[in-house]
Amino acid sequence: MIETTTSSEAARVYLETYGCQMNIADSQTVAAVLRQAGYGVAIRPEEADIILLNTCAIREHAEDRVIGRLSDLARLKGSRPQLQLGLLGCMAQHNRAALMARAPWLDLVAGPDTYRRLPELLGRAQSGPAQSDFAVDVRLDRGETYADISPDYESGVRAYVTAMRGCDRFCTFCVVPYVRGRERSVPPADLLREVRALAARGVKEVVMLGQTVNAYRHDATDFAALLRRLAEVDGIERIRFTSPHPCDMTPALIATMASEPKVQPYLHLPLQSGSDRVLAAMERGYTVDQYLDLVARLRSAIPDLALSTDIIVGFHGEEERDFAATLELLRAIRFDSAFSFKYSVREHTRAHRLGDSVSEAEKGRRLAEVIALQEEIALERNRALIGHNFAVLVEGPARRGAGKLAGKTPQFKTAVFSGTAAISAGDSVQVRVEAATGHSLMGAIVASAQ
Ligand code: 5AD
Ligand code: SF4
């Protein structure tokens, strides 16, 4: 959850964000739209005239969390009847009727393609008693990229920039194509303008975002070509992207990752399952062998590549042997990290009507096994880096360890090390790894990296 803050005397908005990087980036666009319309920003919900929750619909658990939070926030209306409560993002789009039944105190519901109209919607919601003038806009818009709106980025050495929106893949389990609509790419000229402006503000690393970011295409510019153009921006030292789809990892993109020094050797490559039967039922578009072949080509082109992935356990029809195949594949590939989830049936998706054959308890057992195995692998992989040096882009003080600094290696691993007064955020330093956990590397500075 990220909270966005500034201050003003105008009606003040408290904005809380749930879910993925795309949502965090969207909230920065929302913040820019509202600021330009004269709204101020509240640091705490208690100080706000308007509370907006930017939400995630990917799993039921994410939705339940938001409903819980909304009912807490709705209590503030008791003492401040003028307070407006709005819900943005994927949940808004997903199931408005059910949402209204569960959260009748909502004044506004706005889907991911309607943020440009938020000032108007807020005005409408404000003009009378709550339910009668309830404002809602969940129309999806094939053309909306917000290309002309420069988001209110958080400060820091890294910025997340939306390159494309939506998804055309329709994996059978996934609600994203329904809540975010069809794929559309931001024109390269707008992205270059944005990234140049970020560089001018001292940003050193950009992460290009999209639900299937490597499906990016605008006229003749595909994703590999976009990365090469972004790499020409002076001041930007590191370029990353997330999340790519395995089927869109073209030879040109792999070659660009291998040859362009600014494009970092890290890839989050969602696998979902290690069983061909399950992959077919999910309609992921690849087999285990094809995925393995892609990993082999990536690792041979980019020898220092770090790989992470997403795994779903307990998809409808997943049997013990399918699950065993997932564990086996995790052991064979040895990802640097993995995000693992219990399958959550989502309304509107094609898998919704198939059913939910794996019990909650069994999903829990499978999830725990995947996590335990992956922790073991991550620890082994990180320990193997002890004694090696990495260029670390310094982000600032480490969360833990007084006086320590933290930053990321090219492989997007967190490195924690003792700083000196001469080193500050945005510097690059060489760190020798001295110890490791499954989640971070601890070390000492050996030299400035440049
Ligand atoms: N249930 C569980 N996990 C899901 N994901 C997407 N949809 C679902 C679902 N219905 C996971 C996938 C995806 C990640 C962002 O969320 O692993 O890659
Ligand atoms: Fe969902 Fe599949 Fe699109 Fe990823 S590629 S957002 S999992 S439908």
pLDDT tens digits for 251-302?
999 999 999 999 999 999 999 999 999 999 999 999 999 999 999 999 999 9
What is the average pLDDT across 209-237? 98
What is the band of 133 on the pLDDT scale with cuts at 50, 70, 90? low
C-alpha 211 – ligand 2 centre gap (Å)? 7
Region for residue 156 given its phi and psi (left: phi exceeds 0; alpha: psi -120 to 50; beta: otherwise): left
Task: Please answer whether residues 205 and 236 qualify as being in contact, where contact means their C-beta atoms are separated by less than 8 angstroms.
Answer: yes
C-alpha 284 – ligand 2 centre gap (Å)? 8
Q: Which residue in the block uniquely carries the two structure tokens 């892609």?
A: 294
What is the average pLDDT across 189-199? 98
Amino acid residing at 419 = G
Task: Please tell me the predicted confidence (pLDDT) of residue 124.
Answer: 78
Task: Please tell me the predicted confidence (pLDDT) of residue 99.
Answer: 83
The beta strands (E) that lie in 19-107 are given as 40-41, 50-55, 84-89
Assess whether the C-beta atom of 246 lies below 6 angstroms from ligand 2: no
Task: Please tell me the predicted confidence (pLDDT) of residue 436.
Answer: 98
Average pLDDT over all residues of the chain: 93
Q: Determine the longest span between alpha carbons in the chain, in angstroms.
A: 66
What is the average pLDDT across 310-339? 98
Tokens for 74?
A: 């709705």
Cα(412)–Cα(267) distance, rounded to whole angstroms?
9
Kindly write down the DSSP assignment for every residue of 279-297, as one continuous string: HHHHT-S--HHHHHHHHHH
Cα(49)–Cα(248) distance, rounded to whole angstroms?
44
Q: Evaluate if residue 186 carries a pLDDT over 60.
A: yes
Q: Evaluate if residue 131 carries a pLDDT over 70.
A: no
Cα(370)–Cα(306) distance, rounded to whole angstroms?
19
Tokens for 178?
A: 């329904």
Task: Please tell me the predicted confidence (pLDDT) of residue 130.
Answer: 45
Assess whether the C-beta atom of 343 lies below 6 angstroms from ligand 1: yes
What is the average pLDDT across 240-259? 98
Q: Evaluate if residue 450 carries a pLDDT over 60.
A: no
Strands 221-222 and 217-218: antiparallel
| pLDDT tens column, 397-435 | 998 878 899 999 999 999 999 978 789 999 999 999 999
Q: Which residues contact 183 (CB under 8 A, 6 or more apart)?
A: 164, 165, 166, 167, 168, 211, 212, 215
Mapped onto helix, strand or coil, the DSSP state of residue 7 is coil
| pLDDT tens column, 76-86 | 998 898 999 99
Task: Please tell me the predicted confidence (pLDDT) of residue 149.
Answer: 96
Task: Please tell me the predicted confidence (pLDDT) of residue 157.
Answer: 97
> Measured in whole angstroms, how far is the alpha carbon of residue 340 from the centre of its chain?
15
What is the average pLDDT across 323-335? 98
Cα(280)–Cα(288) distance, rounded to whole angstroms?
10
* DSSP symbol at 199: H
Instruction: Please choose from 167, 249, 282 the residue to mutate so as to test ligand 2's pocket, defined by most ligand atoms within 8 A of CB.
Output: 167
Tokens for 386?
A: 């002890």
Q: Evaluate if residue 333 carries a pLDDT over 60.
A: yes
C-alpha 260 – ligand 2 centre gap (Å)? 27
Task: Please tell me the predicted confidence (pLDDT) of residue 448.
Answer: 59
Cα(285)–Cα(299) distance, rounded to whole angstroms?
21
Q: Which ligand is nearest to the CA of 178?
A: 2
What is the average pLDDT across 65-84? 92
Q: Evaluate if residue 54 carries a pLDDT over 90.
A: yes
pTM of the shown model = 0.94
What is the average pLDDT across 144-163? 96
Element (H, E) at 29: helix 21-36
Task: Please tell me the predicted confidence (pLDDT) of residue 269.
Answer: 98
Task: Please tell me the predicted confidence (pLDDT) of residue 100.
Answer: 81
* DSSP symbol at 215: G
C-alpha 128 – ligand 2 centre gap (Å)? 40
C-alpha 121 – ligand 1 centre gap (Å)? 31
Q: Which ligand is nearest to the CA of 170?
A: 2
Assess whether the C-beta atom of 268 lies below 6 angstroms from ligand 1: no
What is the band of 102 on the pLDDT scale with cuts at 50, 70, 90? confident
Q: Which residues pair with 430 in a beta bridge?
A: 391, 447
C-alpha 90 – ligand 1 centre gap (Å)? 14
Tokens for 30?
A: 């929302």
Task: Please tell me the predicted confidence (pLDDT) of residue 127.
Answer: 63
CB neighbourhood size of 14 (10 A): 22
Select from 163, 157, 207 the least CA-distant residue to 184: 163
| pLDDT tens column, 368-398 | 999 999 999 999 999 999 999 999 999 999 9
Q: Which residues pair with 418 in a beta bridge?
A: 404
Assess whether the C-beta atom of 212 lies below 6 angstroms from ligand 2: yes
What is the band of 9 on the pLDDT scale with cuts at 50, 70, 90? low
CB neighbourhood size of 187 (10 A): 14
Cα(266)–Cα(172) distance, rounded to whole angstroms?
27
What is the band of 5 on the pLDDT scale with cuts at 50, 70, 90? very low
What is the average pLDDT across 30-42? 96
Backbone angles phi, psi at 5, to 5 degrees: -140, 140
What is the band of 7 on the pLDDT scale with cuts at 50, 70, 90? very low
Instruction: Please choose from 173, 212, 315 the residue to mutate so as to test ligand 1's pocket, defined by most ligand atoms within 8 A of CB.
Output: 173
